[in-house]
Amino acid sequence: MTDERKERRRKFASEFFRESAIHEAGHLVMAWLAGFDVVFATLLGAETARASIRASSWQKDSVDEIQLNLLWAEVSLSGPMAVAIARSDDAILLSYAGAEEDLKKATSHVSRAFELSYQLFDDDADLNWEQVSRARIKATLRKHWRTVLAVANALLDSPEVLEGVAIVEVIERAEGFKK
């Protein structure tokens, strides 16, 4: 393999990991803002980049299941939206490989919320929710973009798994909370 080709592969891998870190950071920051518990995140490779988030005890006790499903849907969309913001390309939200699973999860949560609401919605209901939600997610991530980048950098600097406590510390520091 030529040196030029090796350099191109290294650059591609670096860009891939950066984009994966931004994707996971989008989920983590949005989850933290929504009150979810951030458990851990890892960026070990193409197949193992993931974040673990769970509903917090206060959410389980005080947020109805409809609202909780809509919050989960927004957290699911926030990873792909963070990549769209980083690429300055909203169209990428629906087309890049890392978005497919998250979009399926978001659709599932929205469908469950609509099902729980006992209302009949036409086909435009999902679309209307998604359009409104996308705009809200995009605005929220842009407002907290410095925090998304701080979490992404922490993931890139982490040798293996970044625990929830460390992630929350990065978020709180970036958000200006005193520790």
CATH at 132: 1.20.58.760
Q: Is residue 73 part of a domain?
A: yes
Q: Is residue 100 part of a domain?
A: yes
Mean pLDDT of the chain: 81
- Tokens 């891939």 belong to 16
Split into its structural domains, the chain has a count of 1
Residue 120 has pLDDT above 50, yes or no: no
- Containing structural domain, residue 81: 3-174
Q: Is residue 179 part of a domain?
A: no
| Cα distance between residue 21 and residue 93, in whole Å | 16
Q: Is residue 129 part of a domain?
A: yes
Q: Is residue 8 part of a domain?
A: yes
E strand or H helix that includes residue 2: none
Provide the whole-model pTM.
Answer: 0.83
Q: Is residue 41 part of a domain?
A: yes
Highest mean pLDDT among 45-59, 62-76, 117-131 belongs to 62-76
